[in-house]
Amino acid sequence: MAEFLFEDIFTVTRLDPDGKKFDRVSRIEARNEQFNVYMQLDVATDVYPMHAGDKFTMVLVPTLNLDGTPDSGFFTQAGRKTLADKYEYVMHGKLYKISEDKDTSTGQNAKVEIYASFGGLLMMLKGDPSSAANFELDQRLFLLMRKV
- Computed on alpha carbons and rounded to an integer, the radius of gyration of the chain in Å comes to 15
List, in sequence order, every residue forming a beta bridge with 8; answer none if it has no partner: 58
Pick one of 74, 79, 106, 148: the residue that binds another protein (CB under 8 A).
Answer: 74
* H/E element, 77: none
Question: CA 45, 60, 124, 104 torsion: positive or negative?
Answer: positive
Q: Within the chain, how many helices (H) and strands (E) appear?
A: 0, 8
Q: Does 10 bind another protein (CB under 8 A)?
A: no
What's the min distance (Å) between Cβ of 53 and another protein?
19
Q: Which is nearer to another protein, 52 or 110 (CB)?
A: 110
Site string for another protein, 89-128 (x = CB under 8 A): xxxxxx-xxxxxxxxxx----x-xx-x-xxxxxx-x-x--
Q: Which is nearer to another protein, 2 or 90 (CB)?
A: 90
Is residue 43 within 8 Å of residue 89, measured between CB atoms?
yes
Residue 105: partners with Cβ closer than 8 Å, 6 or more residues away: none
Pick one of 25, 57, 65, 66: the residue that binds another protein (CB under 8 A).
Answer: 25
**Which residues of this protein are in contact with another protein, per CB under 8 A?**
17-19, 21-25, 27, 29, 38, 40, 42, 44, 46-48, 64, 73-75, 84, 87-94, 96-105, 110, 112-113, 115, 117-122, 124, 126, 129-130, 132-133, 135-138, 142
